[in-house]
Structure 1
Amino acid sequence: MALNSIFRRASSLVLPLAVRSIATPRSFHHAISAAITVGKRNLSQDLNRSFFLPSLRSYSAASASNKADVSLLNVLESEIKCAEEDDQNSVDEIPEEFPFKIQDNPGERTISLTRKYEDEIIKVEVDMPNVAAEDEDEDNDEGGDNDEQTREESSIPLVVSISKESGECLEFGVTAFPDEISIDHLSIKKADGSEDQLAYEGPEFQDLDENLQKAFHKYLEIRGIKPSTTNFLHEYMVSKDSREYSMWLKNLKNFVEK
């Protein structure tokens, strides 16, 4: 009897709560439907956000990249026009008295000269002058130090090789200034092309007897290495520098446009 009384009291407490929780089925279904709708809306918003945000970021990055590319192309086009104007003053005609045949390969910074003198083959490799530094020195005040700096920077380097039929070669390192040629060093190259690291190469050229220095200058002069030749080469290399710069700019522009 006591046990049954306990069960009846428990049922009387639990049943009204259960009835109240499901007293109105319509409101129950409405609550479930609303929860599903809200869930769907939140899920849709999350999906849309997760889908569009990376796309927006990619679009923004692509837009910034395109603007940078367009800006770069505009600057390149402007620089190309300036370079082409400089090309109009380039040296095209080779003087009739110029003693060498010129081999100029586009895209390379050096040119090669060749000629035959009696039983010798003479080859000369000419490098670019420092044109930019030379232009800067033109704005400096006149003075001993500035004149010396201009003299050095307006020069062009040459390597002169004179080969005999035996295959041996006498090689000169030369620096050509306006109306003046300076011999920096000289050496004999063996016919087999081998080089002995311990071989005696002689003293510095400036340490040689003055008469011997003059004799070597005359030796080069009669083979075509003289101021009239190197003065033209300086003008030619300035023009080549302008042509190569223009071509380099156009190659950059083509790359950016692709």
Structure 2
Amino acid sequence: MSAIRALRQVSLVSTRALAVRSAPRSLSRAAMPVFAVRAAPACAARAFSLSARTLGEGASDVALSQKLTEEMQYEKEAATEAEPDFLRSFKAQGVWAIEDVAGNDEVALTRKFGNESIRMMFSIADINQSETQFENEEETDGSDEEPNHSYPIRCSLSVTKSAANGALTVDVICQEGTFVVENISFYKDAQVGTELTAEADWRRRGLYIGPQFDTLDVSVQEEFEKFLQERGINEALASFVPEYAEYKEQKVRSLVILLLELFLIGFTLQEYVSWLQNVKTFVEA
């Protein structure tokens, strides 16, 4: 048995995993092929017997060429998978820009508001940690019902102004379609308040970060919440953040497993598609 065929039988996930949002999260699910063979159209059986001689000497040449073409098309489409509706709708609003580097846990949402630059950052690591916690709780509970968990995601908001020095930073928890403010800090040096370097983090540790939000006077809390709402830190954004975090987490998980599978058989995705094209050209010659 070839290495590729053997790997197909034990593969955990394939390139199709990006499109299967409802599939179980656990990597111990039933084996799925890396490059699955799809069923031929009904007309293929009639067509290849009539035109086989125009492409080659074998009666199976047309059917094989068609299969190779279908496989190439599927892999190319999977590599440029269409964005889900919720993401297209969010981008169409034109309010927030998404900064998302493939392979990184962190996501940044940025926007302009008057002379202010606003950035909100969150990480998909919170989803992984919450999932592990909930899975452990389910094993302990022994219940067969699937609980409806809403994972809390920590977000860090920073506001800077072109006409003023310093940076306002706000720590919030995003859960169940709302933001809960935990802490508000002000840094006279905007770089200290916003940079994600080890040096900036070290300098922040020695500074007063401000009071806990819930210890402020209620009227101050209410006005600050209005301040955030006006800048788009609202229920709509609180619904988008966990949905996008889930979407990114699925893509990262599927990409890591796919790259591992390709590595084990000595392929890259580009090499596989190129191989398909070369074989197809030879068959059709």
TM-score category, normalised to shorter length: 0.5 to 0.7
SS at match of 2:221: helix
Matching residue of 2:18 = 84
How far apart, in 2, do the equivalents of 1:203 and 1:248 lie? 41
Letter in structure 2 aligned against 1:252: L
Kindly indicate whether residue 213 of structure 2 is the aligned counterpart of residue 217 of structure 1.
Answer: no
Q: Give runs of aligned pairs for residues 93-104 of structure 1, distance below 5 A.
A: 93-95=88-90, 96-97=92-93, 99-104=95-100
Q: Tell me: CA distance 1:171–1:130, structure 2 relative to 1, closer, same or farther (3 Å).
A: same
Q: Tell me: CA distance 1:121–1:234, structure 2 relative to 1, closer, same or farther (3 Å).
A: same
Matching residue of 1:58 = none
Matching residue of 2:183 = 185
How far apart, in 1, do the equivalents of 2:122 and 2:15 lie? 27
Does the Cα contact within 8 Å between 1:86 and 1:242 map onto a contact in 2?
Answer: no
How far apart, in 2, do the equivalents of 1:201 and 1:238 lie? 30
Quick one: which of 257, 261, 265 aligns to 1:249?
257
CA RMSD in angstroms comes to: 3.5
Question: Deviations along 1:63-111, whole A, 9 cap, x unmatched?
Answer: xxx98x98666433x3236723425895541333362111221111121
Matching residue of 2:215 = 207
- Report which of the two has the higher share of helix: 1
Does the Cα contact within 8 Å between 2:120 and 2:156 map onto a contact in 1?
Answer: yes
Quick one: which of 168, 174, 192 aligns to 1:176?
174
Does the Cα contact within 8 Å between 1:159 and 1:174 map onto a contact in 2?
Answer: yes
SS at match of 2:232: coil
In the alignment, structure 2 segments of 5+ residues that lack a partner are 22-80, 193-202, 267-285
**Superposition TM-score, scaled by structure 1 size:** 0.59
Q: How many residues align structurally?
A: 185
Q: Which moved more, 1:213-222 or 1:88-97?
A: 88-97
**Identical-pair percentage:** 23
Does the Cα contact within 8 Å between 1:73 and 1:256 map onto a contact in 2?
Answer: no
Q: Which moved more, 1:168-177 or 1:190-199?
A: 190-199
Matching residue of 1:157 = 154
Matching residue of 2:54 = none
How far apart, in 1, do the equivalents of 2:20 and 2:144 lie? 26
Letter in structure 2 aligned against 1:100: W
Quick one: which of 105, 109, 125 aligns to 1:109?
105
How far apart, in 2, do the equivalents of 1:134 and 1:231 lie? 22
Q: Tell me: CA distance 1:74–1:207, structure 2 relative to 1, closer, same or farther (3 Å).
A: farther
Letter in structure 2 aligned against 1:126: F
Question: Deviations along 1:162-210, whole A, 9 cap, x unmatched?
Answer: 0012341101111111222101212112326354654333222222222
Q: Tell me: CA distance 1:255–1:81, structure 2 relative to 1, closer, same or farther (3 Å).
A: closer
How far apart, in 2, do the equivalents of 1:108 and 1:92 lie? 19
